[in-house]
A and B are shown apart, each in its own frame.
Chain A
Amino acid sequence: MSAVAYYPGCALKSIDLAYDVSSVAVCRELGLSLEEIRGYNCCGIGELKSDGDVAYVLPTRILALAEGQNLGEVMAPCSVCYGELARAQSVLAQDAARRGRVNGMLQAAGERPYTREVKVRHLLEYLYREAGPEKVAAQVRQPLKGLRVAPYYGCLYTRPGWFTQAGRDPALDNPERPHFMADLLDAAGATVVDHPNQVSCCGGRNVVQDEEGTALLDYRILSGAKEEGAQVLALICPKCSGALDINQTKAIARHGEGARLPVVYLTQLLGLAFGLGRGQLRLGDMESGAAALLQASGFRS
Chain B
Amino acid sequence: MSEAVLIIGGGPAGLAAAASLADLGVEAVLVEKEPELGGTPKKYAYSKLVPDLRPAQETLAPLVQRVQGREGLRVLTDARPTAVSGKAGDFKVRLAGPAGEEELSAGAIIVATGFEHFDARRDTKYGYGIYPDVVDIRDMERMLSEPQLKRPSDGQVPQRVGFILCVGSRDRMVGNTYCSRVCCSVCCVQAIEVKEKNPSAEVYIFYMDIRTYGLLENLYWEAQEEHGVLFVKGRVGEILPRDGQLMVKGEDTLLRGPFEVPFDLMVLASGMEPGEGTVQVAELLNLAREPNGFLAPRDSHTAPLEAAVEGVFLAGADLAPKFSDDAVAEGAGAAVRAAAFLRSRAGR
Measured CB to CB, the residues of A under 8 A from B are 161-162, 167, 174-177, 196
Please name all residues of chain A whose beta carbon is closer than 8 Å to the beta carbon of B125 when the two chains form the complex: 176
* Interface pair B173/A162, CB less than 8 Å apart: yes
Q: Contacting B238 at CB < 8 Å: which of A161, A162, A176?
A: A176
Q: Is B177 an interface residue (CB 8 A)?
A: no
A178 to chain B, nearest CB (A): 10
A196 to B240, CA, bound (A): 9
The 13 sampled A-B contact pairs (Cβ below 8 Å) are A161-B173, A162-B173, A167-B124, A167-B173, A174-B124, A175-B124, A176-B124, A176-B125, A176-B238, A177-B124, A177-B127, A177-B130, A196-B240
A174 to B124, CA, bound (A): 8
The majority secondary structure among interface residues of chain B is: mixed
Centre residue among B124, B127, B130 by max chain A CB count within 10 A: B124
B94 to chain A, nearest CB (A): 32
Taking A162-B173, A167-B173, A177-B127 as given, write out 10 further A-B residue pairs in contact, using a Cβ cutoff of 8 Å, ordered by the A residue number: A161-B173, A167-B124, A174-B124, A175-B124, A176-B124, A176-B125, A176-B238, A177-B124, A177-B130, A196-B240
Please name all residues of chain B whose beta carbon is closer than 8 Å to the beta carbon of A174 when the two chains form the complex: 124
- B238 to A, closest residue via Cβ: A176
Residue interface mask B192-221, A partner, CB < 8 A = 1: 000000000000000000000000000000
A196 to B260, CA, bound (A): 15
- B130 to A, closest residue via Cβ: A177
- B242 to A, closest residue via Cβ: A196
Measured CB to CB, the residues of B under 8 A from A are 124-125, 127, 130, 173, 238, 240
A162 to B174, CA, bound (A): 10
B123 to chain A, nearest CB (A): 9
A175 to B173, CA, bound (A): 12
A72 to B146, CA, bound (A): 57
A196 to B239, CA, bound (A): 12
- B126 to A, closest residue via Cβ: A176
A186 to B73, CA, bound (A): 60
Please name all residues of chain B whose beta carbon is closer than 8 Å to the beta carbon of A162 when the two chains form the complex: 173
A177 to B125, CA, bound (A): 8
Please name all residues of chain B whose beta carbon is closer than 8 Å to the beta carbon of A167 when the two chains form the complex: 124, 173
A174 to B125, CA, bound (A): 10
A204 to B173, CA, bound (A): 26
- B175 to A, closest residue via Cβ: A168
Please name all residues of chain A whose beta carbon is closer than 8 Å to the beta carbon of B238 when the two chains form the complex: 176
- A161 to B, closest residue via Cβ: B173
A66 to chain B, nearest CB (A): 29
A58 to B240, CA, bound (A): 39
Please name all residues of chain B whose beta carbon is closer than 8 Å to the beta carbon of A177 when the two chains form the complex: 124, 127, 130
A36 to B286, CA, bound (A): 49
Please name all residues of chain B whose beta carbon is closer than 8 Å to the beta carbon of A196 when the two chains form the complex: 240
- A168 to B, closest residue via Cβ: B175
- A174 to B, closest residue via Cβ: B124
Please name all residues of chain B whose beta carbon is closer than 8 Å to the beta carbon of A175 when the two chains form the complex: 124
A175 to B125, CA, bound (A): 9
A160 to B124, CA, bound (A): 14
Centre residue among B130, B173, B238, B240 by max chain A CB count within 10 A: B173
Please name all residues of chain A whose beta carbon is closer than 8 Å to the beta carbon of B127 when the two chains form the complex: 177
A161 to B130, CA, bound (A): 21
Centre residue among A161, A162, A175, A176 by max chain B CB count within 10 A: A176
Please name all residues of chain A whose beta carbon is closer than 8 Å to the beta carbon of B130 when the two chains form the complex: 177
A127 to chain B, nearest CB (A): 22
A292 to B130, CA, bound (A): 37
Please name all residues of chain A whose beta carbon is closer than 8 Å to the beta carbon of B173 when the two chains form the complex: 161-162, 167
A161 to B240, CA, bound (A): 21
A176 to B240, CA, bound (A): 12
A196 to B238, CA, bound (A): 12
A161 to B173, CA, bound (A): 8
A52 to B130, CA, bound (A): 41
A198 to chain B, nearest CB (A): 12
The 5 closest A-B pairs by CB, nearest first: A176-B124, A176-B125, A174-B124, A177-B124, A167-B124
- A196 to B, closest residue via Cβ: B240
B168 to chain A, nearest CB (A): 13
